[in-house]
Chain A
Amino acid sequence: MNPALLLARVLRDPATIAGLAAAEWNALWAVARAEQLAGTLAHRIAGLPMPEAAARLVADAIASAEQGRTAALWEAEMARRALADLDVPVVLLKGTAFAAAGLSPSVGRTIGDLDILVPRDAMGAVEAALLAAGWEWVKPDPYDDAYYRRWMHELPPLIHRDRDKMIDVHHTILPLTARIRPDAAVLLAESVALENGLRIPKPQDMLCHAAAHLFADGDLAGGMRNLWDIHCLLGEFGFNGLAERAAHHGLGAAMARAVRQSVRLYGTEAPAAWQGWDALDPLFLRRLTARDHWGRSTRKAVQLGFYVRSHLLRMPPAMLARHLWTKWRKGYRPA
């Protein structure tokens, strides 16, 4: 069995770990780690009968994810303090938002960078406040820096000099060069305040962002984790108002694809209108599950195709050609 499909099967039905052979356990953990799903897997199967060595890995992964959660929430608090005097709304995105609100995708979830959304006209002030509070630039290249500032949906990434944690400051959720232009103003305006004054997007916007991130941007690397977020959020919030909201952001197709893949891979319960399977869906599934028994990515041709797709989605062809040419001259090669 494809080890990524094995992981998906165990996530949707933890009881299927009964009778796994040692080699399958090894593949399961290798893929779970590669897909940043080890903590999630651990929480799903904790307490079930399993070999002692597997139970130890479960305990380790749970402890590790718990520590990651604490660190991520602390990082959000640090950002809150740095930006408190600015009087701008600060909306947490992705993993940190799930953790701060105690939402189901956050159980065991690895949280990488801190992602926040602020109004575009506050970007300068936010950047200055973060620099004053100890964050520093990580992109020394002037071309990259200028590119981010002109065309991206976020500042070039900043990293904190003491804590070594990265922050991504977004003003919208897709690059400005992309054809789809989500409504960042409404995302901010309808965000929900947490007790500490930080905010999170409203449920449908969280789902739209997750779908945008997965299917309207990027090359689907690490997509199983992002799709698991979508599966959990759908289970938590349901489908009410989702189609309308996604359409408003221009993300109707991405959202529909996200639901179809989630249904297929994780068995999400969805109304009939959301079910189905289009001609390209099998290709997306092949990309999502491109892992070998060592957790290494496979299906290089499919990957390359999605890499090219991600760039075509991000920018018009002439601009893309210019961009790739510039990057190539600077020595950058796709992985």
Chain B
Amino acid sequence: MRHLKLLRIGPIGFRVGSHWRGPVAALDDLYCDYPEPQDGIADFNVHLFAARPWRRVLRPAVHIAGDFVIPDAAPLPLAQGLLAAEMGMNLQMALGLRRYLLLHASMVERDGRAVLMTGISGAGKSTLAALLMARGWRLMGDEFALIDCATGLAHAFPRLVSLKNEAIDVVAKALPGARFGPLLEGTPKGAIRHVVPDARAIAAMDQPAEPSLILFPRFGFDAAERPVLPSEAFVRLTQSSTNYVNLAERGFEALARLVQKVPSRAIDYPDAETAIAMVEALA
């Protein structure tokens, strides 16, 4: 691995190695305000590599691996190297994290109170998180919420916010001064562009927050809202956690406590403006 990037996002340290300079240069640029892992020791390694030596130069294809591996993860073209690095870091978290209960959710905070937003891909998690950041909320993450099994506190994981397709322009308008990554077209999820969390999100990334609301947003429907029973929230969150089973009793207790203590709401929304108004009214 000729090129190397060490960085820390929230409580998690990463060591990313790459055969090519491109992906690491992109990380260097977009994560330039992030610290190194504590003590220089990474929690997870990510490898971006060519399956055969000549594929470094000839139609270069970026394979993604690390300490914890999913076999047969499809490679990406070198132009999408940044995406490969992000996917690699996410994958390591999803497969290897045992220190926190990991929920696939975006998360914003105001006055020490964290709002978790979870749902299927396309529900608008990342977009809502970015737009709420534009309105003065602290961005805690757009992909993972980390719940401390002992304290129940939510820890931030403010990596680059990954915007897809139509959301790219919506957020660019809302955050004119933000730093954006390159526009990546033709990815497995369509067009993707990353936006760097604002200075406040990075500066406060070591501060956990008390979860105060769990939202299950759904995009593309008339505005509607209903309470979600703790039992339903529990089941839905087990499905949005990649390490719930592995944490066993610790995970069960953390999740049970979360859904009993924190109210849950399902919201449907036709457009971002409506959703923002609904979130701000509920939180």
Residues of A within 8 A of B (CB): 22-23, 25-26, 29-30, 33-34, 51-54, 56-57, 59-60, 63-64, 67, 70-71, 293-296
The 5 closest A-B pairs by CB, nearest first: A22-B40, A51-B39, A53-B41, A53-B39, A53-B38
The 8 Å CB contact of A54, one of B41, B67, B98, B99, is: B41
A53 in contact with B13 (CB, 8 Å): yes
Which single member of B37, B47, B246, B247 contacts A53 (CB below 8 Å)? B37
Residues of A within 8 A of B43 (CB): 53, 56-57
Residue contact B40 to A60, C-beta cutoff 8 Å: no
* Complex alpha-carbon distance, A68 and B127, angstroms: 37
Interface pair B39/A26, CB less than 8 Å apart: no
Interface string of B227-259 (1 = CB under 8 A from A): 000000000000000000011101000000000
B13 with A30: CB separation less than 8 A: no
Most chain A beta carbons < 10 A, residue from B37, B41, B98: B41
Q: Could you tell me if A64 and B45 are in contact, using CB atoms closer than 8 angstroms?
A: no
User: What are 15 pairs between A and B in contact, CB < 8 Å?
Assistant: A22-B41, A23-B40, A25-B39, A29-B41, A52-B39, A53-B37, A53-B41, A53-B43, A54-B39, A56-B99, A67-B246, A71-B248, A293-B1, A295-B67, A296-B65
Closest to B37 in A: A53
Give bound CA distance, A70 to B247, whole Å: 11
Main secondary structure of the interface of A (DSSP, over half): helix
Residues of chain A within 8 A of B17, CB atoms compared: 294
Contact with A along B57-93 (1 / 0, CB 8 A): 0000000010110000000000000000000000000
**In terms of DSSP, what is the predominant structure of the interface of chain B?**
mixed
Q: Which of A29, A51, A52, A64 makes the CB contact (< 8 A) with B246?
A: A64
Closest CB of chain B to A74's CB: distance in Å? 10
Residues of A with C-beta under 8 A to B247 = 67
Residues of A within 8 A of B38 (CB): 51-53
- Checking B42, B68, B98, B99 against A26 with a beta-carbon cut-off of 8 angstroms, the contacting residue is B42
Query: What distance in Å separates the Cβ of A68 from its nearest Cβ neighbour in chain B?
Result: 9
Distance from A10 Cβ to chain B, minimum over Cβ atoms (Å): 14
A51: nearest residue on chain B (CB-CB)? B39
Interface residue B104 (Cβ < 8 Å from any Cβ of A): no
With a cutoff of 8 Å between Cβ atoms, the chain B residues found around residue A294 in the complex are 1, 17, 45, 47
Measured CB to CB, the nearest residue on chain B to A66 is: B248
